[in-house]
Amino acid sequence: MLEGEGRKDLPYPFSLPHLEFYQRCQTVSQRAERWLPLPRSHVERRVLKQLAKVLARFEELPRLAWAVSKLERGWQAFCELRDVLRLTDAALPRGDLRYLPTRELPELERARLGDIEKTTTAYREQLRKRLTDSNGSSCAEAVLLKYRDRYADHLFGHPAKHDEDGKIIAVVERTNNLSEHYFGTDKQKLRRRLGRVHLGRDPEDQPAQAALASNLHHGDYVRVLCGSLEHLPTAFAEADQAQFDTTPLVDQRLVRSHHIAHCDPEALALYLFLVTVADVRGLSFYADASIGRLLSLSPQCLAQAREVLVGAGRSGAAPGSKRKVVFSPTRAASTS
């Protein structure tokens, strides 16, 4: 009876567990009287007596009643504001996305936002009237009115996207709940994959394409991208082939701009090797040790050949990193 329903509390301020515990303590004696049938044993009577003795200590703390009354007024005003804005627990980080307002009917969503704006405007007048009737002593209403006026310009007026016929096809979200849900779910998956709670910089180290991959769960995105998931490998292969067809294997400016005259045989051998092993993006992942072994070059000669390529406008990345074979008239272009 004291623990409540046993469910996990929502994050603050959407749940006040201490206030809820106090409220349960006010009714636990009556519930225990109804729960324990008559006649009662000696142990049951002793437990009820001890429970009443412990709960009586609440009456010895006068400031506790004042704090509870203040919290209840603030909580009531907070819940009232959420009802006016039509915000539910489904929008919280651990909320159920199935109960969120549907975004598949943008015209209805736009109309719903208009109704919320009208309701909020009327609610503002109610707050002002309450403050006037209470001579400004209502702290909760004063706080709500203050923040409502401060952020009024950002609550509504979200743009909508129209098609050629003027039909609304999308409405901008009024909250960042979607991004919060995404990052929360992504971190949870990352913790399961890495096997540790504290991620550190792991989310930042993920490539940007990781966020785009989550869009494959949405059918409209897949239809625009490749038609269906079965055609996804073919779409990627066609994109790589198109890039490969438009990219020359060897940069012709190496000869036309006479950069070849500034390269020794070792530097040209390194350039030929990098061009040969590069992928469609021009990237090579060979380590210095492997390159030196295949070209029969010592570490000193390999480093000198790279410096020659850099000076000639060719590419040579830092040792141990991936290399991109790109021509630049002024300096090397490399990625790490």
The three state secondary structure string of 173-225 is CCCCHHHHHHHHHHHHHHHHHHCCCCCCCHHHHCCCHHHHHHHHHCHHHHHHH
- Asked whether residue 82 carries a pLDDT value surpassing 70, the answer given is yes
Residue 326 pLDDT: 46
Which has the closest alpha carbon to 316: 280, 281, 275? 275
| Cα(314)–Cα(282) distance, integer angstroms | 12
Lowest-confidence range among 43-52, 88-97, 145-154?
88-97
Query: What percent of the chain has pLDDT above 70?
Result: 80
**Pairing status of strand 283-284 against strand 323-324:** antiparallel
Residue 336 pLDDT: 34
Residue 95 pLDDT: 63
* Domain residue limits, the chain: 17-81, 93-171, 208-246, 253-324
Helices (DSSP H) in the chain: which residue ranges?
Answer: 17-35, 42-55, 62-85, 106-133, 139-150, 152-155, 177-194, 202-205, 209-213, 219-225, 232-246, 253-256, 265-277, 288-295, 299-311
Half-sphere exposure of 214 (CA within 13 A, CB side): 13
- Bridge partners (DSSP) of residue 160 are 171
Average pLDDT, the chain: 78
pTM of the model: 0.52
CA angle, residues 51, 52, 58, in degrees to nearest 5: 105
- Bridge partners (DSSP) of residue 161 are 170
Backbone angles phi, psi at 94, to 5 degrees: -100, 20
Mean pLDDT of all residues in 310-325 = 51
| Cα(336)–Cα(256) distance, integer angstroms | 29
Question: What CATH number does the domain located at 253-324 have?
Answer: 1.10.10
Mean pLDDT of all residues in 30-51 = 82
Residue 102 pLDDT: 60
Residue 118 pLDDT: 92
- Asked whether residue 62 carries a pLDDT value surpassing 50, the answer given is yes
For the chain, strand residue ranges (E) read 160-162, 168-171, 283-284, 323-324
Residue 227 pLDDT: 84
Enter the tokens of residue 187: 């971190």
